[in-house]
Amino acid sequence: MTPPHSVDKLLADAEILQHEYDDEDTAASRLRIEREVSDTWWRSALLLESSAQRVKSELLEDASRHRARVCTAQHQQAAHDLRKLSTLVIRDTRAAHHIALLARSCRVEPASALIFACLLHLADREGAQFWWQFSAGAGSPTAALCLHLMHTQRGELRDAEHWAHEAAFLEDLENQSSGDDNLVCLLRRPPRQGHRGTWYTPQSMIRRTMAILHSGVAASTSVVDSPALAAPPLCRSLAVAVQRLEAKSDDDYGTIPQASYELAARLEDCAAASP
């Protein structure tokens, strides 16, 4: 049986390697290992960076798609509300009278300009923006709301915000100057306390204005969904009359349609035939 080696003998044998590798070999070996480790870390870093960029790109695409869906929904809702609000405006019992006044008078009333603008909008006729601006400039909060919705529909959010502020200012001014206690004034009047901050938000004003226009429905109701509003807002003869209106050209405002007696008559006929 071979006797076990002593510890000293084993250590002596192990020292043989020291004579086969000099300091240069050791340094070269360390350098090679450092390069391999560095290369491994570099490849790992590149892989992580590539993964991060891919995830970032996917997140940006998801966010972009989400914003697009939100904007589309916002534009569609604004278009829907503007059409409904315009329909309620032209169905006012005095609408034909206001159009007749606009046709024969050089002095334009805010209500006449508002009704005329809504007729132009519903008929897809150019010029509604000018008449809404005229009416809002004369103090109509409803016209300012129409402009807010129009710009929102177009995606012109800065202009939309401007007209939302104007609508709130005009409605507040109207509330302060009116001391009447009729239904319209009561519906427009803000609460004495609580929830006043949300009273003049665009959606709150739109719902309230629609409620007032819709025969004094309580202002707390949602946007009006009367079956009558689902029908085309303009009868054929009224739509034709809007398209036949004469227009003036203005360097600043472009083409501006002018009201006519025929339009007032067709609006009255259309109102009489409506349910």
Average pLDDT, consecutive stretches of 10 residues, N- to C-terminus, the chain (275 residues)? 56 53 64 73 74 70 58 85 93 91 87 95 94 94 96 94 94 73 52 60 87 56 45 86 92 89 93 72
CB 204 within 8 A of CB 190: no
Query: Which residue type does 138 have?
Result: A
58 vs 56: CA distance, rounded Å: 5
Which pLDDT value is given to residue 268?
92
Inter-residue contact 75 to 152 (CB < 8 Å) = yes
According to the model, what pLDDT value does residue 196 have? 54
Give the C-alpha distances (Å, rounded to integers) separating 192 from 189, 196, 197, 200: 9, 8, 11, 14
Provide the whole-model pTM: 0.68
- Give 154's DSSP letter: H
For 249, the 3-state DSSP assignment is strand
* Predicted pLDDT at 249: 87
Contact 211, 221 (CB under 8 A): yes
Determine the Cα–Cα distance for residues 105 and 98; give it in Å rounded to an integer. Answer: 10
Residue owning tokens 């046709």? 103
pLDDT of 5? 56
Contacts of 241 (CB under 8 A, 6+ apart): 260, 262, 263, 266, 267
Residue 213: is it exposed, middle or buried by C-beta count within 10 angstroms (0-12/13-18/19+)?
A: buried
Return d(Cα 128, Cα 150) in angstroms, integer. 10
Q: According to the model, what pLDDT value does residue 250 have?
A: 84
Rounded distance between C-alpha atoms, residue 72 and residue 239, angstroms:
28
CA 234 → CA 25, 111, 117, 196, 222, distances in Å?
96, 19, 14, 37, 24
